[in-house]
């Protein structure tokens, strides 16, 4: 171990930064966040430091560094662009046994500044010992995605109950087991969901019972349009901790592969006129699994509340007293349009957008065609592939131009994405006899004209066709 990682209490203690540029500003910001009483020595200051000096957040000595600047300080950072000055600061500070850091010069440092993940009071420091600060930042970014921002609130909450837990449990092992249950169970999830008061009540009840209950819970998670990079941090965390994954046909393989590997997987996908598991049975399945004390990830393509039947499922969960969370996602319309270079609204082409399902619960297409066929409006059809000829016909009948552009996007945001474009009059013939790979999305409107100009994403399939 090249360095001993420690955390210093600098609240109200005098610290010194030598240098007034932007690098010095970043280091000064960290010291201020830690509560230091900060003095900056430099002939002139960058804008940020000058604003802090003007407001009194930092003391500024407008001059070059002198040995007397080290008097009564407990920590020093040298951040000038003059190597001789930085070396002088380091040597004088070390002679006084003061911790000193010289930016970008590990050989002159007695301590290094790590990359920090701040979930105060929880803090995580990542360091490469000054060898590769960029690598430290990359590692920090990776950890940031795995650690919920609410961990700080969770830590602050449990701090207030430590004495009560000590009084309830006699030995260390019992207390450790209790806290592990709290920090990995219902209390933590309530905090992550922003329900701090409910979490506090749950923790109080657990202390009174002398144990942590681990009731089943359903996570209704939006898997997005297909690209796993579009998942939210919260979705990924819940996918990794679920005991069972109940997933749809429209969830991409890449997204499904990010679920916990040892979790049980149950496929309940649906196709038009072919529901492997009817919706009412899916609803009951979620209830039954939760009653067994399992954590279930109900993983859906797109967003669970946009033609995802999420409302039907949580209605059943609520009726049966099952706890649940809903994690929104980038819905298919947003993902498909973005990756196809088709903005859903544009000041020159469309001032409104409407999402509509291509078939209703009873299998019909009894839609408000007059309301859909409006000028300068973008229409996005979900589940409209089989009804595409009817869609085109009805929109023309209700006043839209046969020459109005239309796009069909298959497997959007994935390497298998393919975009077919045409007009209301030509699209049925364009896709006739073509094998279309679901999921698909249909976009109707003048904004489709922008596809060729604004398309930035070329899938493997489309790239292969251009070769």
Could you report the per-residue pLDDT of 295-334, keeping only the tens digit for each?
Answer: 999 999 999 999 989 999 999 999 999 999 999 999 999 9
Active-site choice (227, 248, 294, 300): 248
374 and 400 Cβ atoms separated by less than 8 Å: no
Note whether 350 and 461 are same-domain residues: yes
Please give the DSSP secondary-structure letter assigned to residue 224. Answer: B
Here the CATH number for the domain that contains residue 385 is: 3.30.950.10
Question: Does pTM top 0.85 for this prediction?
Answer: no
Note whether 347 and 437 are same-domain residues: yes
398 three-class SS:
coil
Note whether 347 and 441 are same-domain residues: yes
412 is in an annotated binding site: yes
Summarised one tens digit per residue, pLDDT across range 208-217 is: 999 888 889 9
Note whether 173 and 248 are same-domain residues: no
- Domain of 190, in residue numbers: 151-209
Residue 348 CB partners (closer than 8 Å, separation 6+): none
Boundary of a domain, candidates 160, 186, 209: 209
The C-alpha atoms of residue 38 and residue 17 are separated, in whole angstroms, by: 7
423 is in an annotated binding site: no
pLDDT, position 273: 54
The C-alpha atoms of residue 452 and residue 165 are separated, in whole angstroms, by: 63
Note whether 281 and 372 are same-domain residues: no
- Burial grade of 191 (CB within 10 A; 0-12, 13-18, 19 or more): buried
Q: Domain total for the chain?
A: 4
| Pairing status of strand 274-275 against strand 270-271 | antiparallel
The C-alpha atoms of residue 296 and residue 291 are separated, in whole angstroms, by: 11
Summarised one tens digit per residue, pLDDT across range 227-271 is: 999 999 999 999 999 999 999 988 999 999 999 999 999 999 876
Give me the chain's average pLDDT, please.
Answer: 92
1 is in an annotated binding site: no
pLDDT, position 280: 93
Q: What are phi and psi of 219, to 5 degrees?
A: -105, 110
Q: What are phi and psi of 186, to 5 degrees?
A: -60, -40
Note whether 385 and 351 are same-domain residues: yes
Note whether 18 and 96 are same-domain residues: yes
231 and 254 Cβ atoms separated by less than 8 Å: no
22 is in an annotated binding site: yes
Q: Please say if 348 is a catalytic residue.
A: no
437 and 411 Cβ atoms separated by less than 8 Å: yes
5 is in an annotated binding site: no
36 and 16 Cβ atoms separated by less than 8 Å: no
43 is in an annotated binding site: yes
Active-site choice (59, 195, 270, 386): 270
Q: Please say if 248 is a catalytic residue.
A: yes
């Amino acid at each position: 171990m090249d360095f001993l990682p420690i955390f210093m209490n600098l609240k109200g203690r005098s610290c010194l930064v030598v240098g007034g540029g932007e690098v010095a500003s970043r280091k000064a910001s960290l010291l201020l966040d830690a509560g230091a009483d900060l003095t900056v020595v430099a002939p002139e200051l960058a804008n940020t430091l000058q604003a802090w000096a003007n407001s009194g957040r930092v003391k500024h000595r407008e001059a070059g560094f002198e040995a007397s600047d080290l008097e009564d300080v407990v920590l020093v950072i040298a951040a000038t662009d003059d190597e001789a000055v930085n070396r002088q600061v380091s040597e004088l500070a070390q002679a006084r046994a003061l911790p000193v850091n010289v930016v970008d010069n590990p050989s002159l440092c007695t301590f290094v500044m790590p990359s920090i993940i701040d979930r105060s009071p929880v803090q995580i420091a990542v360091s490469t010992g000054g060898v590769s600060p960029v690598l430290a930042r990359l590692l920090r970014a990776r950890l940031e995605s795995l650690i919920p921002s609410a961990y700080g609130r969770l830590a602050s909450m449990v701090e207030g109950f430590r004495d009560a837990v000590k009084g309830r449990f006699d030995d260390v092992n019992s207390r450790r087991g209790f806290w592990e249950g709290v920090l990995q169970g219902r209390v933590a999830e309530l905090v992550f969901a922003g329900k701090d008061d409910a979490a506090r009540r749950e923790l109080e009840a657990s202390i009174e019972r002398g144990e942590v209950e681990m009731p089943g819970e359903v996570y209704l998670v939006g898997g997005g349009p297909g690209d796993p990079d579009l998942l939210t941090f919260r979705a990924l965390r819940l996918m990794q901790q679920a005991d069972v994954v109940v997933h749809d046909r429209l969830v991409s393989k890449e997204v499904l592969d990010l679920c916990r590997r040892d979790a049980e997987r149950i496929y309940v996908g649906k196709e038009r006129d072919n529901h492997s598991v009817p919706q009412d049975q899916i609803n009951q399945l979620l209830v039954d699994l939760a009653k067994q004390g399992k954590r279930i990830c109900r993983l859906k393509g797109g967003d669970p509340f946009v033609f995802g039947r999420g409302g039907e499922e949580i209605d059943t969960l609520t009726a049966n007293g099952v706890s649940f969370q809903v994690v929104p996602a980038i819905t298919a319309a947003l993902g498909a349009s973005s990756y196809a270079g088709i903005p859903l609204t544009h000041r020159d082409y469309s001032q409104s957008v409407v999402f509509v399902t291509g078939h209703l619960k009873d299998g019909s297409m009894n839609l408000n065609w007059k309301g859909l066929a409006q000028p300068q409006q973008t229409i996005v059809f979900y589940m409209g592939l089989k009804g595409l000829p009817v869609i085109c016909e009805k929109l023309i009948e209700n006043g839209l131009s046969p020459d109005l552009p239309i796009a069909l996007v298959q497997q959007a945001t994935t390497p298998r994405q393919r975009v077919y474009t045409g007009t209301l009059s030509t699209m049925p013939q364009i896709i006739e006899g073509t094998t279309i790979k679901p999921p698909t999305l249909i976009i109707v409107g003048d904004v489709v004209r922008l596809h060729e100009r604004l398309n930035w994403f070329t899938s493997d399939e489309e790239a292969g066709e251009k070769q």
